[in-house]
Structure 1
Amino acid sequence: MESYFSLPNRVGRIVLFAVLLQCHSHTHTHPHTHTLSLSLSHTHTHVILKAFEQYRLKSCIYYKPWSGEENYISVFKGNGCFSSVGNRRVGKQRLSIGSGCDRIATIEHEFLHALGFWHEQSRSDRDDYVSIIWDRITEGKEHNFNKYNDSTSSALNVPYDYGSMMHYSKKAFQNGSEPTIVTRIPAFSDVIGQRMEFSDSDLLKLNRLYNCSSSSTFLDSCDFESENICGMIQSRENEDNANWQRVSRAAGGPDTDYTNMGRCDGKGYFMHFSTASGPEGNRALLESRVLYPRRGFQCLQFFLYNSGHANDRLRIWVREYDTANPDGTLRLIHEVKGTDWQLHHVSLNVSRKFRVVFEGIKGSGNAGGLSLDDINVSETSCPEHVWRIEDFRSVLENTPMDAAIYSPRFTSRDGYSFQMGLYPNGTAGSPGELGAYAHLTSGAAEDGVVWPARWKQMTMMLMDQNADIRRRMNNQRSVTTDPSMTVEGEARDHLVLLGFSKYLPFLRGLQCFLLIMQTLVARTAS
């Protein structure tokens, strides 16, 4: 079952959301085979498959189940998180994802080791960027701070990266309270050791090492900063009677694009269809370049701003091509409405070459218009639900510790009604750490589902709003409703009334989800 929530709106360029995902396994180029041990928990297996999806989206690397290859990775639940570096040519090469290793970035980190990557602070030039304080390191753990010369480890001509997911944190293997790694630029002291996602430099090195010229599941991205608008075209004659325009502001709004929000001089473009004049029913079609799918499912993601009339409409079509229809056949997918800049997802499910078509239709008013920005198309599954919190900075500043805010009620694919609870400033037990929790609620279909809700998986994610989906350093954590943690008796006998006839038993959550400071500073630059 899938679900999606969007939490802070505009803190740096970060959004938080939660997802219940199903993973799909397909193969393309640069295969790496693996086996998954039965000792792995449901959560570990789920997160490993999600990590594989990130490799497919951001590189040409894909992992496929072992089918007799001579050398392969055997993933098991060992004592901690560890992997050999590179292909050791030993046949079955073991990689441990043990307790406490269930972050997607931790798993990506270990598989980067298997692909040949040492830790960032093991580079030959590391002493120019960090100091290792040897007497603060736990006895017997000094080898983790070894430095390797250029014959052992190559930086692939990429600058030292404090933000690499392969970098240790300042507290790594400390024997007290003082840091074992001190950055020569103090501002990066709390940046090193991030376990959110691949950094830009991580991806640059990975794609250089494996000669990746494209990724496996990425199709297109456009922020409209280039005048050629990413190869998008206005529609052909007789199909519309108006045009989309590339602008940096529009009469009636918006005053800025979504990508830059007016912060960068000379940048900040988006596409706008004006509905300030012309007859009702005027149409403007904007089409993507031709896209070539490999999977049978895609997710279209974009931001929409409607400054016009409430009945101005945006329709999403696909134009599909085959030998019988060389000019393409239009198929309506979805109709979207919105107000100010809002994130939208649309599932496409196309199996032949196609274009995405955005059709703006003028309603009865004569003001403003429709605006598009930050379009991404990938062969991934779309989430189902979005929780958008306005002005999250104000929420952060005005919500006391131990106080929660709650999402609207959502219904999962298999009929469970649920709600998210968020502690923006943590609790007394974990101050300054954002806590996210999931609760079951009463719903129309609650008698038709199994109680308690066992072995349901949820992923909570903080979404980096980089315009290009490949460069997003999302922070995500997964939890599973383990039957051993269920309150004794019928779950519905332990419900707590929370207003307007909603009943919430506690399910699972993560109190120490994310340091608030990291929320504010982790990703503020483009």
Structure 2
Amino acid sequence: DAGHDWDIFNINEVAGLNLLEGDIQHEETFDRNSIIGDEYRWPTTIPYYLEDSLDMNAKGVTLKAFDQYRLKTCIDFTPWKGEQNYISVFKGSGCSSFVGNQHAGKQRLSIGNNCDRLGTVEHEFLHALGFWHEQSRADRDDYVNIMWDRIKPGKEHNFKAYDDTVSSALGVPYDYGSVMHYSKTSFNIGSEPTIVTKIPHFTDVIGQRMGLSASDLAKLNSLYKCTKSSTFVDSCSFELENICGMIQDPGKTKWEQRSSTSGGPQTDFSNMGQCEGKGYFMHFSTASAEPAGRALLESRWLYPKPGAQCLQFFLHNTAAADDVLNIWVREYDGVNPRGKLNLFKRISGGVTGSWELHNVNLHVSRKARVVFEGVRGRGPSKGGFSLDDINLSSTKCPQHIWHICNITRLLATTPTGEKLYSPRFLSPAGYSFQVNTSLIGRPGYVATYFHLTSGPNDHNLKWPCPWQQATMALMDQQSDIREQINMHRMVTTEPDKMSSDGIEYYWDNPREVGSKVTGSDGSYFYRGPGSGTSTFITHSRLKSRKFIKGDQAFFLFSLEGVQTGQLDHCSRPQIYRLCWPLSLSTAPQSKTRLDSWKSVTSISVTAIIHMIAIIYRVSLMLMQPKQTVTLLACV
């Protein structure tokens, strides 16, 4: 993004687009009154197709946006299988969409350069699902003032308010925090705002592109008559006496609902002691349990979708080293009517001094209960295990967690530009990586960058690293996962991306293109160049919602191959490099890999290579008609 914190409308303006309300596509015969009505709703399962023109990173971001819709609404997205009406996602000149189901067969939605942000993609799909911008509501003048004299000439039409016979608010109050709201400076002349909120507190709230707000979801679920989400399973913060329907075994050792314990924690995680009469968690006391004593805390019957599930919870661990918390799943079937226990994670005791986030990947295919088993060891123990804010969804967990403590002090004392580096992590494919953040990256912003690093598997991996997407998310620590609006940024390792000098492959082996650095443990490793943004999140948004809670923040990281989300189609061209030297010896590595080819300038050699490429490409396409093949002749 070259350091630009551009909104959708800035992107489209730079691209030379002059669309309705800045990002709405429409036909010449467009009639606003036609949008209201059931016929402009999609079915709750929407066919989509990701066009070949779409950047690989944008494909991954789009699929992540679908996951958010599935988690928080009944809307699902499925690869197009020939249905009459479907959404075609392509790379256009900017970010844009039609409003509602146009019943036109292939309905185009553009995710162009710099549009590959989760909130931006969610915004465009909300248009496709039938929603206008929030500030175009009929009642908007009760909540904001439009400063007409500050709007660029010719852009005034973008601030039209629609009569409530055209656009329904669905009984939901005006939402300053909607992902569909213009920012305060949209279409402005100079730096003065074009939209002034009548409640000053919301001046810097409008225009967020982090994700779907609670009111966005309320309207969407109302419009589509959603009664449950597609992938959400359960959430519990233990505020009610029924403890979310959880049960315990009949033994004398029990989990207890507490608001504090003498050995810690002093408060729950949900409310952090801020709400009088609220703030409970479940506690297994290893101090009072007999040696080898154990207690089971079991969820109600759950019915997740078969496949992968993510169990997320917060744990305050003050138990002794030989105490254990086991995470089981009890699955029921005809052979095991009482349920069969399968162990998924074991956590040893050890004083942490704070609430820690845990993610556990489950694989459940039938009716089941999640079971937390606390076990007292044989030695002395003065604390226990405390649980709060449990969430279960039919999704994959983030692979890694980076816990940052004392963040208020860090924000106040960290010098401008100073980088905090995460530990190094390994992806499932074996790539080692690291993330850095500058809390004062540039005035008013936090910066975040992804780096490949040298690791134990480098000799067995493909280089340059091909099509791995890094997801960096700052967690919104709301108790219910459906209310979380995490701040995301995704980066994809394009194997053909070059360094700025055109000499090295950007995502090549860090031992060849990186810098030798010293880790926190004194060991040496190589860190490759970074990719990310200097405008990850503003300081004002960082301090909003619950990105910071109990003076701590959590980053969630994953690095995985980009999924195309298509059926029987490889939407990303498979790349075959015709880069072998004329002597047929092994191609040189790193800088010499390209240098050797720069010496090959013969036109006849170039022609031969291109002819081979064409013949090879055609033969592959004939053999694999459903696969797109691209060859690169490196000359």
Residue 520 of structure 1 corresponds to which residue in structure 2? Answer: 543
8 Å contact kept, 1:304–1:342: yes
Q: Which residue of 1 aligns with 2:271?
A: 260
Aligned residue in 1 for 2:261: 250
Distance change >3 Å, CA 212–CA 146, structure 1 → 2: same
Percent identity between matched residues is 57
CA-to-partner distance for each residue in 1:454-482, whole Å, 9 max, x for gaps?
Answer: 33211211110000000001110111223
Instruction: Quote the residue 1:456 is aligned against.
Output: 468
Which residues in structure 2 correspond to 1:55-454 (within 5 Å)?
Answer: 55-235=69-249, 237=250, 240-337=251-348, 339=352, 340-363=354-377, 364-426=379-441, 430-454=442-466
What is the one-letter code of the residue matched to 1:389? I
Q: Secondary structure at the match of 2:526?
A: coil
Q: Does the Cα contact within 8 Å between 1:481 and 1:507 map onto a contact in 2?
A: no
Q: How does 1:22-61 map to 2 (within 5 A)?
A: 30-61=44-75
Q: Which of the numbers 446, 455, 478 marks the counterpart of 1:466?
A: 478
Deviations, residues 388-426 of structure 1 (Å, cap 9, x unaligned)? 112111222221011101111111111111111111110
C-alpha displacement at 1:524, in angstroms? 7.5
CA distance in 2, matches of 1:107, 1:281: 52
Instruction: State the Cα distance separating 1:366 from its structure 2 match.
Output: 3.2
Q: Secondary structure of the residue that 2:307 maps to in structure 1?
A: coil
Specify whether residues 90 and 404 from structure 1 end up closer, same or farther in structure 2 by C-alpha distance, changes over 3 A only: same
The answer to whether the 8 Å contact 1:191/1:522 transfers is: no
- The Cα shift of 1:275 comes to 1.3
Aligned twin of 2:517: 498
2: CA distance, partners of 1:173 / 1:485 = 34
Q: Secondary structure in 1 aligned to 2:313? A: strand
Q: Check the 8 A contact 1:307/1:368 in 2, yes or no.
A: yes
**Cα deviation per residue 1:293-316 (whole Å; 9 max; x = unaligned)?**
223110100011112312221000
* CA distance in structure 1 between the aligned counterparts of 2:318 and 2:248, rounded to whole angstroms: 21
What is the distance in 2 between the residues matched to 1:409 and 1:372? 28
> Displacement of 1:112 after TM fit?
0.7
Question: Is 1:476 aligned to residue 483 of structure 2?
Answer: no
Aligned mates of 1:180, 1:522 — CA distance in 2: 25
Q: How many residues align?
A: 492
Shift, 1:522, TM fit: 4.0
Contact 1:481 1:508 in 2 (8 A): no
Distance 1:168 1:372 in 2: 40
Q: Which has the larger radius of gyration?
A: 2
Shift of 1:193: 0.3
Q: Provide, for residues 274-305 of structure 1, a one-character-per-residue CA deviation record: whole Å limited to 9, x for no partner.
A: 11123211001000111112231101000111
SS for the counterpart of 1:206 is helix
Distance 2:547 2:65 in 1: 24
Aligned to 1:10: none
User: Which AA in structure 2 matches 1:400?
Assistant: P
Partner of 1:509: 532
- What residue number does 1:19 align with? none
Task: Give the direction of change, closer, same or farther, for the CA distance of 1:305–1:403 in structure 2 (3 Å limit).
Answer: same
Q: Residue type matched to 1:269 in 2?
A: Y
SS of the aligned residue for 2:527 comes to: coil
Partner of 2:559: none
Question: C-alpha distance in 1, partners of 2:424/2:63?
Answer: 28
Q: CA deviation at 1:74?
A: 1.4
Q: CA separation of 1:447/1:256 partners in 2, compared to 1, >3 Å: closer, same or farther?
A: same
How far has the Cα of 1:483 moved from its partner?
3.7
Letter of the 2:544 counterpart:
V
Distance apart, 1:335 and its partner CA: 0.4
1:485 deviates by 3.6
Higher RCO by CA contacts (8 Å cutoff, separation 6 or greater): 1
- When residues 525 and 432 of structure 1 are mapped into structure 2, their CA distance, relative to the original with a 3 A threshold, is closer
- Once residues 454 and 403 of structure 1 are traced to their aligned partners in structure 2, the CA distance between those partners, rounded to angstroms, is 30
Bigger shift: residues 417-426 or 281-290: 417-426
Paired with 1:525 and 1:188, the residues of 2 have a C-alpha distance of: 19
Report the Cα offset of residue 525 of structure 1: 11
- Shift of residue 223 of structure 1? 0.2
**Conserved in 2, the CA contact under 8 Å of 1:241 and 1:282?**
no
Q: Is the CA contact (8 Å cut-off) linking 2:253 and 2:289 kept in structure 1?
A: no
Where structure 1 has 5 or more consecutive residues not aligned to the other structure, the ranges are 1-28
Residues 202-235 of structure 1: CA deviation (Å, up to 9, x unaligned): 1111111111111010000000001111111112
Contact 2:450–2:491 (CA under 8 A) maintained in structure 1: no
C-alpha RMSD of matched pairs (Å): 1.6
SS in 1 for 2:57: helix
Measure, in 2, the Cα distance between the counterparts of 1:406 and 1:275.
Answer: 36
Cα distance in 1 for partners of 2:440, 2:336 equals: 56
CA apart distance, 1:484: 4.6
The secondary structure found in structure 1 opposite 2:177 is coil
Gaps of 5+ in 2: 1-42, 550-635
Amino acid at match of 2:386: S
Q: TM-score, normalised by structure 1?
A: 0.91
Contact 1:283–1:362 (CA under 8 A) maintained in structure 2: yes
In 2, Cα distance between the equivalents of 1:291 and 1:451?
Answer: 43
